[in-house]
């Protein structure tokens, strides 16, 4: 299967993090010009430098995905350097693990602002650039299995990922007349630099996750990256408005093993 991504201009948000950075590297490895956007300026510069050191073409842009002026300025820079983006990947997001009764207004604003508003805002502004340039592009959003599986300690986070799934459907319909496809990926537990230490320190949590996972392993960044590349490429040219869950069968499992209860 040919992905036909060579030469595409790709904007990846959240690229200063391990999963967003891995996504950016995946596109660079397929011959794309990749703009890496993140509020973490040091992180995004390091990620872009790593791609460049490996022979790829990368541009680091520091911006808050929840700020319209900042995102507009970032897109201006990408266009000045290369062109309007062919592909947008909304990987930026934050998670919280707090009991529902203890969540605060600040928790709500932070998580909703990054996960839901950021996805909406970056998509709207990037789509306008695509349409203006006559690009039949692709947008890939980062959802989660928590849009379907409720976690009492991630109520706000789960709500934002449910919102991303619905937003993906709505944007797909709205942008279809312009030839722009919009899809999402829905990972289960993926081991990254951000959660590896937690998983190692809480073996009981890891064990419960594995018991709920039919394939018997937690995910790796490349499991998600491969799905993103597919949804962004011509190989998925007849796919829009859907969420591709990378969950090792977790959503398909109708019963929870007694040991995991």
Domain count, the chain: 1
pTM comes to 0.94
Q: What is the residue-level pLDDT of the chain in tens, covering all 261 positions?
A: 678 899 999 999 999 998 999 999 999 999 999 999 999 999 999 999 999 999 999 999 999 999 999 999 999 999 999 999 999 999 999 988 899 999 999 999 999 999 999 999 999 999 999 999 999 999 999 999 989 887 888 899 999 999 999 999 999 999 999 999 999 999 998 888 778 888 888 888 889 888 888 999 998 999 999 999 999 999 999 999 999 999 999 899 866 655 444
What's the CA gap between 245 and 47, in Å, rounded? 26
In a domain, 168, yes or no: yes
CATH number, domain of 178, equals 3.40.50.720
Active site residues: 157
- In this structure, the dihedral spanned by the alpha carbons of residues 115, 41, 45 and 223, taken in order and rounded to 10 degrees, is -20
In a domain, 216, yes or no: no
Quote the domain boundaries for residue 160. 9-192+221-246
Domain membership of residue 22 (yes or no) is: yes
Where residue 219 falls (left for φ over 0; alpha for ψ -120 to 50; beta otherwise) is: beta
């Amino acid at each position: 299967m040919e992905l036909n991504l060579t030469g595409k201009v790709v904007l990846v948000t959240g690229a200063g993090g391990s999963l967003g950075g891995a996504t950016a590297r995946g596109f660079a490895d397929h011959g794309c010009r990749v703009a890496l956007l993140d509020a973490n300026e040091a992180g995004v510069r390091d990620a872009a430098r790593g791609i460049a050191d490996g022979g790829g073409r990368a541009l680091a842009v520091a911006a808050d995905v929840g700020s319209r002026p900042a995102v507009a300025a970032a897109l201006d820079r990408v266009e000045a350097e290369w062109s309007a983006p062919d592909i947008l990947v909304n990987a930026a997001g934050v998670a919280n693990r707090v009991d529902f009764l203890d969540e605060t207004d600040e928790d709500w604003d932070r998580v909703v602002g990054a996960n839901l508003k950021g996805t909406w805002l970056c998509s709207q502004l990037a789509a306008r650039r695509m349409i203006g340039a006559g690009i039949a592009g692709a947008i890939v959003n980062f959802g989660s299995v928590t849009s379907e599986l409720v976690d009492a300690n991630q109520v706000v986070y789960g709500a934002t990922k449910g919102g991303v799934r619905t937003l993906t459907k709505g944007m797909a319909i709205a942008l279809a007349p312009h030839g722009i496809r919009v899809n999402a990926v829905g990972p289960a537990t993926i081991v990254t630099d951000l959660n590896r230490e937690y998983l190692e320190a809480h073996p009981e949590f890891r064990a419960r996750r594995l018991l709920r996972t039919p394939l018997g392993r937690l995910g790796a960044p490349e499991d998600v990256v491969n799905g993103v590349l597919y949804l962004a490429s011509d190989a998925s040219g007849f796919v829009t408005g859907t969420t591709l869950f990378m969950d090792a069968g977790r959503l398909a499992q109708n019963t929870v093993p007694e040991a995991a209860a």
